[in-house]
Amino acid sequence: MKRIRLLATREVRELLRQPAMLLAITTLFLAIGGLVLTSAGILQLIALSEAARTGTESWLPIFGLQDASLDAVAGYTLAIGAFLLLSQYLGISGVLAGHTVLHDRQCHTLPFLLLAPITRSELLLGKVLGALALPTLLFVLGQAVVMGTLAALPLTANSSSVLPTNPAWWITTLLGAPIWAIAIGLKCAIISALARDVRTAQQSVWLIMFFATLIAGYLLVQQLPAGALTQLGVAALGATFACTALFVGAKVISRDLGR
């Protein structure tokens, strides 16, 4: 455990000393959060006036939203916002975890890590946890601020499944999403360790990340209305993927260490 902490702390320290990536992640979360809050705010302003609400709802069929109410549009906005925040967090996790191994390959530090008295599982877990610590903090903060603010709007009363008023939201934000981020991060780290060169590693990471974030994003956001138990199941599925990745990763990275 001490060695996992050592590896993770070093990752965090290096990430803090190269703040460009953190700035990019923060900007991304701010942009998504700002977009969702602005959209929901405008909808709330419209909802305050009955005339504006009726007028706007009469325009909705033009956008393919037959018989839709302003409340339903607010619901779509929230769902899209929640999915964007989550999928971006998962995507960032894959990139950062993959990059942490590539960084070791570029710095030629990987052989020295492989020769140190740590298991491959500890090595993978330490690097991935370190790479994800700060993005996870930013994600949880972003979710809390954006979704917490949205929960205060009267218009979102009918869309509470993606808001903190739903207990499943807490399970998703604090448990499910970080576990899936670790699972995706582990897969990307393993690929980066095994790929012959940096370009192949990056291309493979992008491919995995695209599909994995879509699937995990769907499970985590679309299943929120199904309740807390379902979200616990989704988190357990993510944990199973993470454990499998850890087990397989420890085996394949040991096969020919010097690659």
Partner 1 sequence: MSASPRLLVEGVHRSFGPTEVLRAIDLQVRAGEVLGLIGPNGGGKSTLILLMAGLLRPSQGRITVEGTLAVDLARKASGEIGLITPDPGLYPLLTGHENLRFFGELNGLSPSDVDDRARPWIETLGLEAALHTRTGTWSSGMRQKLSLVRARLCDPLVLLFDEPTANLDPIAADAVWRAVHGAAEAQIAVVVATHDLRAAETICDRVAFVQSEVRHLETLQGERAPPSPSRLLEVYRRCALEAP
Q: Return the number of the residue (214 or 250) whose C-beta is nearest partner 1.
A: 250
Shortest separation between residue 205's beta carbon and partner 1, angstroms: 21
Is the CB of residue 138 less than 8 Å from the CB of residue 21? no
- The answer to whether 132 and 96 are in contact (CB under 8 A) is yes
Q: Which is nearer to partner 1, 240 or 254 (CB)?
A: 254
Least spacing, CB of residue 116 vs partner 1, in Å: 4
For partner 1, which is the closer residue by CB, 38 or 200? Answer: 200
Judged by CB, which is closer to partner 1: 3, or 53? Answer: 3
Shortest distance in whole angstroms from residue 33 CB to partner 1: 29
Residues of this chain that interact with partner 1 (CB under 8 A) are: 2-3, 6-7, 10, 13-14, 17-18, 107-119, 254-258
Least distance (Å) from partner 1 to the CB of residue 7? 7
Spatial separation of the C-alpha atoms in residues 29 and 109, rounded to whole Å: 32
Cα–Cα distance for residue pair 139/199, rounded to 1 Å: 28
Q: Tell me how many helices (H) and strands (E) the chain has.
A: 10, 0
- Answer for the pair 221, 125: CB distance below 8 angstroms, yes or no: no
Q: How far apart are CA 145 and CA 25, in angstroms?
A: 16
